[in-house]
Each structure stands twice: as structure tokens, then as C-alpha cells.
Chains A and B, each alone.
Chain A
Amino acid sequence: MSFPDKEKRQKCWDSRDRYWECLDKSGDQIEKCVEVRTLYETTCPSQWVKHFDRKREYLKFKERINEGYEPLDEKKNTKS
């Protein structure tokens, strides 16, 4: 299987950026960005889609941590 060359990589990154913009606008509501997502999934290899989805999760989590969210507090509250 041949790897995605520079041009294909750039197309994939652009479609990913468009998808993420749509998510930011709609407030992370996947239902509102289905079309963009379909295009994104055709432009990028499925492994990359998985990778970028994970990356988005991570970036969102990082943002919450920077705003003062403490994941351990949640765990403490649910236990008690």
C-alpha cells in the first residue's frame, strides 16, 4: 500500500481542519457536521481519522485542564 504523498497529506489536513471548524462552530455537535465528516473520511485514511479524532479529544481535554478542570475531583465526587 502506498503512503499518502505530500499533496494527499495536505488535502487530508485541510478536510480535517474544515471538520474541526464545523465542530467548533456547532459546539462539538457531531450531528450538525455529518456532511463535512463524510468528506473528511474519504480524503483521509481511516487510521488517520482515528488518530485525529483521538488528537481532538486530547486537545479538548488539555483546554479543560488549562481552564482549571481537575479530573480527580470528579472521581472523588462519584465515589462519595
Chain B
Amino acid sequence: MFISYSTKFPYCFRLNLCVRKSVNGLHNVIPLRFFKNGPGLQSFSNPTSQGLPKKKEVFGKKGPISYKTLLVTAGLSGSLLAFMLYVRKEKEAAIQLERNRALGKAAISGKFNLVDHNGVKKSSDDFLGQWLLVYFGFTHCPDICPDEIEKLVKVVDNLDQMKGVPKVQPLFITVDPDRDSIQSVEKYVKEFSPKLIGLTGNKEQIAEACKNFRVYFSAGPRDQDDDYIVDHTIIVYLINPDGEFVDYYGQNKTSENISAGILLNISKFDQSKHSFWK
């Protein structure tokens, strides 16, 4: 059928031209199926205006089913299928990533139960719904803590100036509960920024908080003035509004690095909350 069609097409094309030249008489004499039983030129594309059932359209047009349309349909459905498979793969990868991240985060719970510099009891639950930047230090620290806290405050001030960025709450937690009373911590944090909240507590509470952040701390030997330096982990921790640890920044990170890192984490968090798959 295919072969006969292809041979007929050029023939009927030429014939159509002849017919158009002398219309009136010819269609009565030559019973071609492309002709209509009616006077004059008629539209060849309308099957209802003629007595003959037409499967295909003539004169330059192929029917609705042809190798071209088949190819186009196959192409479209193939690309649609490929797109669906790709999207499904992306979703599975995202789920796997979240699972891995959750496993990796298990060691840092970020929980604490302390007292702030105003004497108000504050636990990590009280800060849910807020982004937290936590630094562990002590008031008698020679140079590292002041530098890191200045950096922390600079990051927070930076982010506060940006529109559409949620507030990030800076926290200072002492690793020296013996000396850092509520009054000491209050005096210390106020010198850096009114935004900074200082937290202290008794030995057990501080030990628990440090354990939950995996913070190492060790008081050094006391000298003739009863003074000592506390060796401790020098890291700034980022906690998301769900109370989960998501990132950390060491001494080598500048305030610009940290700001950029926080913005990235904020957008990741927002995206996961408005996930298409939920």
C-alpha cells in the first residue's frame, strides 16, 4: 500500500493540474477518486462535501498518520519520558543527600540548658525558629575570643543590613563556669554588641552543652594570681530554625566567607521547606 501510494502521489499531482485547467467536463469522464461529483472546482480538503470517503488530504498534505508525525510523536514522548526520569533521579538524589546529612549531623545535637546574661533561663528550645551563630569562649581569653567574637558581630551586622534575610542570633557560651558568672558574661558581651547574648551555667550544664556541640575545653594550670587559660575548640557553629546543626566556621574563615556560607544555608533551608515534593 505504501508503494502504491508513493507512486500515485506524483501522478495525481500532475493530474490535478490538468483538471484545474478544464474543470467542467473532465470529472464526468475520468472517474478518479480524487475528484468530486459536483460542478466546478471544489475544495479537496473537505471530505463531507463530496460523496467519496477520503482517508487522506491531497495536494501537498499527507494524512494525519505518516512517518513524519510518528517520528515527531516519538520524539516528543521520548523527551517527556527522559525529563520525567531525570526529575525522578534528582528527587531520589536529594532524598539520599538529606538522609546522609542527617546521619552526619547526629553527633552534634546543639542542645543546651543555660542561663543568659540577664539571669533568664534559656534552653536551645527557646531559640527554635531562629538561626543561631554560636561561639564558645571565656572572658579571660587573651586574644582569640575577642577576635572571633568581633568577627561574629561583624557577620551579624552584615546580614542585618541585607533585605529579606532572616535575623541571625549570635550566642556566646562560656567554657569557664568557675569564673564566668552572669555578671561577668553580661559585662563581656555588652562590650561587643547589644545583639550578642551570653550564656553561662554551672559546671554540669556547661559540660553538657560542650558535649552536645562536641566542644573540647580544658582549664590550664593556675599561676600565682590564680589565673589560668582555658584551651578550647575555636569554632563558630550555625544552627538552623529547626535546632539542627548545619555548618561550622573556623579561624581561617573571614567574616565575608561566613556571611556567604550562612546565606547559602538559609536559601537551602528555605528551599527544603518549600519543596515541590512535599
Contacts and interface: CB of A to CB of B under 8 A. Distances in A.
A5 B223 contact: no
Nearest to B221: A47
B191 A47 contact: no
Interface string A32-75: 00000000000001111011100000000000000000000000
B225 A1 contact: yes
B191 A5 contact: yes
A51 B140 contact: no
Contact of A13 (B143, B179, B226): B143
Contact of A52 (B142, B187, B191, B220): B142
A45 B191 contact: no
A45 B146 contact: no
Contacts of B191: 5-6
A2 B223 contact: no
B108 interface: no
Contacts of B225: 1, 45-47
A45 B227 contact: yes
B63 to A, nearest CB: 80
B184 A47 contact: no
Interface residues of A, number: 16
Contacts of B184: 2-3
B222 to A, nearest CB: 9
Interface residues of B, number: 18
A51 B142 contact: yes
Interface of B: 139-140, 142-143, 146, 179, 184, 187-188, 191, 220, 223-229
Contacts of B187: 3, 5
Contact of B223 (A4, A9, A47): A47
Interface in A11-49: 12-13, 45-48
The 8 A-B pairs with the shortest beta carbon distances in the complex, nearest first, are A3-B139, A48-B142, A47-B227, A6-B191, A3-B140, A51-B142, A47-B229, A46-B223
B7 to A, nearest CB: 86
Given A9-B146, A48-B142, A51-B142, A1 B224 contact: no
A4 B225 CA distance: 14
B188 A3 contact: yes
Contacts of B140: 3-4, 45, 47
Contacts of A13: 143
B224 A46 contact: yes
Contacts of B188: 3
B211 to A, nearest CB: 25
A1 B228 contact: no
A80 B91 CA distance: 63
Nearest to B140: A3
A50 B220 CA distance: 12
B227 A46 contact: yes
Given A5-B187, A46-B227, 8 more contacts: A1-B225, A5-B191, A9-B146, A45-B227, A46-B224, A47-B142, A47-B225, A52-B142
A3 B220 CA distance: 16
A51 B139 contact: no
A13 B140 CA distance: 14
Contacts of A6: 146, 191
Nearest to B222: A47
Contacts of A51: 142-143, 229
